[in-house]
Amino acid sequence: MSELNPSNPTPRRSFTIASRASKLAQIQTNIVRDALQAAFPDLEFKTSFMSTEGDKNQSQALYLLGGKALWTKELEVVLKENFVDMLVHSCKDVPTLLPEGCEIGAILEREDPVDSLVVKEGLGYKSLEELPEGSVVGTSSVRRVAQLRRNFPKLVFLDVRGNLNTRLAKLDAPDGPYSALILAKAGMVRLGLGHRLTADLHPPTLFHAVSQGALAVEIRSNDAKALELCQALTHWETQYKCLAERACLRVLEGGCSVPVGVDTVLEVSGTGEGKLTITGCVTSLQGDSHVQHTIQGDVQSTAQAEELGTKLARILIDTGAKQILNDITKDRASKVVQESLKEKVQVAGAGEATA
Ligand SMILES: NCc1[nH]cc(CCC(=O)O)c1CC(=O)O
């Protein structure tokens, strides 16, 4: 393995940008590649795509697969081994704690971060309110289910997995169970599927995921050249918002994916400064308890943005989120035990069949 030597006098001229292999991931990577190529026309930028554990395991509920690192872990290995130089992720899929030696080099300008309702082809419903009692709504996000159960107890929420095109195919299948899906607007827009969005779901109906709608570029912490290139991509307003949201989640989650929603506004008062207003919420899985708080502060640096997010998380924890998060941890532990028992029973069954 050739070690990258930061003091090597020969300047690097070629950079490889990698991501997952899904269509959306490829589109996102091409956005980053094009932006880098425009800013640095004399350098060469290549792309490389690989499918990850998260793409392969589509049967088990995300909630039980444990942590979001399954989208990023394997890519980080090839980054650390110098096979590639930059990783492009949906910022919301990036764990709040990165492995030693990796860091976020850039956060690009955010698309609209809201979630949207997508109604099955041929059904005329225009909103969640219009869906008849008992309609099945597909989403694999505990955040969406928790918040929407609260407001729409008449609806049934069912897991739906796969990349966006797979999920849409499951929605539109004539004999499929789903009447609608809830998806992030940004992904649909980037895929050119904006015409399928039926309605946007804004707070207080639904608070979006931390960092939803933004792209992040991950680099090796010791790669000064990659960091310099990344700086040309960073949209500081988005960076402040996303880093504040990520700091809030980092305190709340303790390593697991939790039903945390946010909504963040930055009133810009000059370059690199403004007033940041973040609302955060934590909702129980059944939607019966919900803690919400809004915090505001002037920020002039990413560190101050993160401080505000951290403070928000502490207030949420002190005002009821702790109880909700403890209950979720217990629930997950018992479900994991049930799943492993189910597997054992299946293995035993298979043994008998072949005997
Ligand atoms: N959970 C999967 C995921 N990760 C990133 C996006 C696209 C939106 C984004 O970039 O934030 C999606 C799809 C979705 O949630 O509907």
Q: How does pLDDT run across 101-123, given as a tens digit for each residue?
A: 999 999 999 999 999 999 999 99
204: cis peptide before it, omega within 30°?
A: yes
**Would you state the pLDDT for residue 2?**
44
Stretch(es) of the chain classified as CATH 3.40.190.10? 8-108+214-234, 115-201
* Average pLDDT of the segment spanning 258-278: 96
What percent of the chain lies above the pLDDT cut of 70? 87
Q: Which of 107, 212, 241, 242, when mutated, tests ligand 1's pocket best, judged by the most ligand atoms within 8 Å of its CB?
A: 212
Task: Tell the residue nearest (CA) to atom 8 of ligand 1.
Answer: 187
User: Is the shortest distance between the CB of 22 and ligand 1 below 6 Å?
Assistant: no
Pick the CATH number of 115-201 from 3.40.50.10140, 3.40.50.300, 3.40.50.970, 3.40.190.10: 3.40.190.10
pLDDT at 64 over 50: no
pLDDT at 53 over 80: no
The answer to whether the beta carbons of residues 305 and 243 sit under 8 Å apart is: yes
| Complete edge-to-edge strand list for the sheet that includes strand 14-20 | 44-50, 14-20, 86-90, 215-220, 102-107
Q: Which of 93, 208, 264, when mutated, tests ligand 1's pocket best, judged by the most ligand atoms within 8 Å of its CB?
A: 93
Exposure class string for 21-54: b at 16+ Cβ within 10 A, else e: ebebbeebbeebbebbeeeeeeeebebbeeebeb
- Provide the ipTM: 0.95
Compute the distance from residue 212 Cα to the ligand 1 centre, in Å.
Answer: 7
pLDDT at 209 over 50: yes
- Which residues have a catalytic role annotated? 93
Instruction: Domain 8-108+214-234: give its CATH code.
Output: 3.40.190.10
Compute the distance from residue 143 Cα to the ligand 1 centre, in Å.
Answer: 13
Task: Tell the residue nearest (CA) to atom 14 of ligand 1.
Answer: 184
**Would you state the pLDDT for residue 336?**
77
How high does pLDDT run on average in the chain? 89
User: Is the shortest distance between the CB of 280 and ligand 1 below 6 Å?
Assistant: no
Instruction: Please tell me whether residue 252 adopts helix, strand or coil conformation.
Output: helix
44 - beta bridge partners? 14
User: Is the shortest distance between the CB of 187 and ligand 1 below 6 Å?
Assistant: yes
pTM for this entry: 0.89
Stretch(es) of the chain classified as CATH 3.30.160.40? 236-345
Pick the CATH number of 236-345 from 3.30.43.10, 3.30.160.40, 3.30.360.10, 3.20.20.210: 3.30.160.40
